[in-house]
Structure 1
Amino acid sequence: MGIDLCKRAIAVTQRRYNHHPTRVYTKALRDVEKWLRELGSIERADDLKRILEEIDDNG
């Protein structure tokens, strides 16, 4: 769930906001946190920044 959800959040957020990449990253992180809360998996939120940074570094 983690990496696929983060990739989805980034793609959706890029389309939705179309701003500077840093703003997209921040908004994507918020979106993923919101989705995890809705799914009842907020304990995974601690890993989100690291996962998103890995995606950002690796494309």
Structure 2
Amino acid sequence: MVPLILVLLLILLLFGAGFAVKALWWIAVIVLVLWLIGFFARPAASGGRRSRWYRW
């Protein structure tokens, strides 16, 4: 009975980790797309030059 419970717990743990990793990949892709949009759609600075994409 104990090995069966251990195997079921292992399956549950691996399923949860796989779901979390997949969700993190999707979040990373969304953040990358938003960053690229912000990088290419930044406003022009005074004088017609494009402004810096960073603030520091």
Structure number with greater CO (CA < 8 Å, separation at least 6) is 1
State whether TM-score is above 0.5: no
Specify the structure having the higher radius of gyration (Cα).
2
Q: By percentage of residues, which structure has more helix?
A: 1
TM-score after normalising by structure 1? 0.36
TM-score after normalising by structure 2? 0.38
